[in-house]
A = this chain, B = another copy of it.
Amino acid sequence: MFAEILTIGDELLTGNTVDSNSAFIARKLTQRGYWVRRKTTVGDDVEEIKKVIREILDRKPEVLIISGGLGPTHDDVTMLAVAEALGKNLTLCEPCLERIKAFYEHLYKEGYIDDPELNEGRKKMAYLPEGAVPLENTEGAAPGAFTEHGGVKIFVLPGMPREMKAMLEREVLPRLGERKFIQRKLLAEITDESKLAPILTEAVERFKVRIHSSPKGFGKYIGVIIFGEGGEEIEKAKAFMEERGIHFEEGW
């Protein structure tokens, strides 16, 4: 039950923007019980995006979340690339076009823009891959899309954080299954992480858990995250490590 995240945008590859979107998506998917196995970022380039989508589909994740590149400009090419990667055409979503029209009319009335007309760039946003379900954008113009391909649930979201977050909460999470994988975050009272290593290794071997420990410099605590399919196994692993002399506190 694993997921992948694909973020798209030249600004992410020049380092002009820190990709906080993929962290937000990863956190939500992890809370929901998904194991995010890989995150990838490519630029606003149809061929690059197609190539990476095909690679991801070959790995057969249960869920693929794509974010970025849905806007009205020449470098917003994500929907076209998704359609081509899936061997589909782009088709006009009539209700999307109506919503986009109303969106710009509203902005015009409020005095935010000079011109409410649907130019080519604005119309472009109403085209989705054939067979995809539009996802409502409550915060902006461009709709997202949901489609399934070869057993992979594919969600295409905008890159503007406010739009992406609202769409993820309202349109994506309700379409995902229930939590099957949980994590427990703890603080281990110990002066140096390297002393923990043999105890963590033994816990991973004995119990059905994965453990991540995070360097916090050389302070009083080491952050430890125990991942497992059930709370019981996680508690057993924790109890085992406590027997070996680790003192845990709650929190992170």
Contacts and interface: CB of A to CB of B under 8 A. Distances in A.
Contacts of A14: 26-27, 30, 36, 183, 212, 225
Interface residues of A, number: 70
A113 B42 CA distance: 42
Question: Chain copies in the assembly?
Answer: 2
A121 B194 contact: yes
B115 A192 contact: yes
A224 to B, nearest CB: 10
A195 B74 CA distance: 10
Given A10-B225, A215-B71, A19 B16 contact: no
A122 interface: yes
A114 B192 contact: yes
A25 interface: yes
Interface stretch (A126-134, A149-157, A198-206, A240-248): A198-206
A236 interface: no
Nearest to A20: B18
Contacts of A121: 193-195, 197-198
Interface string A33-62: 001111111111000100010010000000
A13 B42 contact: no
Interface of A: 10-20, 22-30, 35-44, 48, 52, 55, 71-75, 107, 112-115, 119-122, 160, 183, 185, 191-198, 200-201, 204, 210-215, 218, 225, 252
